[in-house]
Amino acid sequence: MRNNTYPFIVIGGGVSGMTAAIYLKRAGHDVMILEHEIPGGQINRTAEIENYPGFLKIDGPSLAMNIYQQVQNLNIPIIFENVIEINKEREITVKTTQNEYICKRLIIASGRTSKKLELQDEEKYIGHGISYCALCDGAFFKDKTVAVIGSGNSALEEALYLTKICKKVIMINRSEKFKGSKILYEKLKSCSQVQFLYQTHVVGILGDETKLTGIEIMKQEKKSILRLDGLFVYIGSTPNTSFLKNIDIHLDQGFIVTDQNMHTNIEGIYACGDCVKKEVYQLTTAVGDGATAATTAEKEL
């Protein structure tokens, strides 16, 4: 068992959690981050970021590394463990798969995880044709045909990245319009190797023993088969808040409800970033929330 008592603990080493920790440490407080994967969170899966002020263009992993470097320069410990439970009596207890930690103030910055299609054989072909990360897996599809499912900014951005690698990129959208930004949509439309399928649903996954070979799609009640080498899925995400099951924290569809200063309904517990119920889920809002949560929490210690 580690020395396990801290004034502040942050759950999640994504951009929001790392920002909160940087603000706390710079205000003179000891803080520890619990992270169960790698620092940076979702941006590790983002090929190109063009809307984060201060950078004309930056890839996600480089931005993650820059923020992580700031965390390291401040000697903020990151403990790589998976949080499975939180309790609050007199103190706040954070239980991981290996240890139990105690803190006076807790900031939850656990973010979101990509949604799956929930179709038969999806799990079987993950890493064998199905991916949720163009940046991680795009290179495996050089000069090949891939489809991108989704209609938001993530789908549009990652499809643009794939146009630089793949022979053909087929955009599959359930509705008539893309929800993402017009500028990204126009860029994609100007790429000759991109084909758009609207009002089209993916209803089945096809493959052989080793890999995905295509998908079954449906448009206006008519089914057809699309032969593919790869399928990239960007259909939204769900908040990582299942570890809150034992505490009476106010959630809305799994997202943590906070006020504008990032207080939850439980004294001493704050939340920030993509795990919070809000309108805009972006890097700018995630870092803003992190700074606010830290500033609020440190004033109230």
Ligand X SMILES: Cc1cc2nc3c(=O)[nH]c(=O)nc-3n(C[C@H](O)[C@H](O)[C@H](O)COP(=O)(O)OP(=O)(O)OC[C@H]3O[C@@H](n4cnc5c(N)ncnc54)[C@H](O)[C@@H]3O)c2cc1C
Q: Which parts of this chain interact with ligand X (CB under 6 A)?
A: 11-17, 34-37, 41-43, 45-46, 49, 51-52, 82-83, 109-112, 154, 157-158, 240, 243, 273-274, 281-284, 286
Report whether 40 contacts 78 (CB < 8 A). no
CB of 129 to ligand X, least distance (A): 18
CB of 212 to ligand X, least distance (A): 20
Instruction: Give SS3 for 295.
Output: helix
Nearer to ligand X, 114 or 213 (CB): 114
Report whether 275 contacts 110 (CB < 8 A). yes
Nearer to ligand X, 11 or 188 (CB): 11
CB of 210 to ligand X, least distance (A): 26
Report whether 166 contacts 144 (CB < 8 A). yes
Nearer to ligand X, 46 or 173 (CB): 46
CB of 184 to ligand X, least distance (A): 9
CB of 215 to ligand X, least distance (A): 20
Nearer to ligand X, 269 or 286 (CB): 286
CB of 84 to ligand X, least distance (A): 7
Q: Distance between CA 145 and CA 242 in Å, rounded? A: 37
6-45: b or e for each residue (b if 16 or more CB lie within 10 Å)?
A: bebbbbbbbbbbbbbbbbbbeeebebbbbbbeebbbbbbb
Nearer to ligand X, 153 or 207 (CB): 153
Extended beta strands in the chain, E state: 5-11, 31-34, 78-79, 83-88, 92-96, 100-108, 112-114, 130-131, 145-149, 168-172, 194-197, 200-207, 212-219, 222-227, 230-233, 237-239, 251-252, 255-256, 269-271
Nearer to ligand X, 214 or 290 (CB): 290
CB of 236 to ligand X, least distance (A): 9
User: Which residues are CB-neighbours of 90 under 8 A, at least 6 positions away?
Assistant: none
Residue 46, both tokens = 């983002």
Measured at CB, which residue is nearest to ligand X? Answer: 111
CB of 60 to ligand X, least distance (A): 7
Nearer to ligand X, 229 or 289 (CB): 289
Nearer to ligand X, 207 or 230 (CB): 230
Q: Which long-range contacts (CB under 8 A, 24 or more apart) does 24-30 make?
A: 24/294, 24/297, 24/298, 25/74, 25/75, 25/76, 26/74, 27/294, 27/295, 27/298, 29/298, 29/301, 30/6
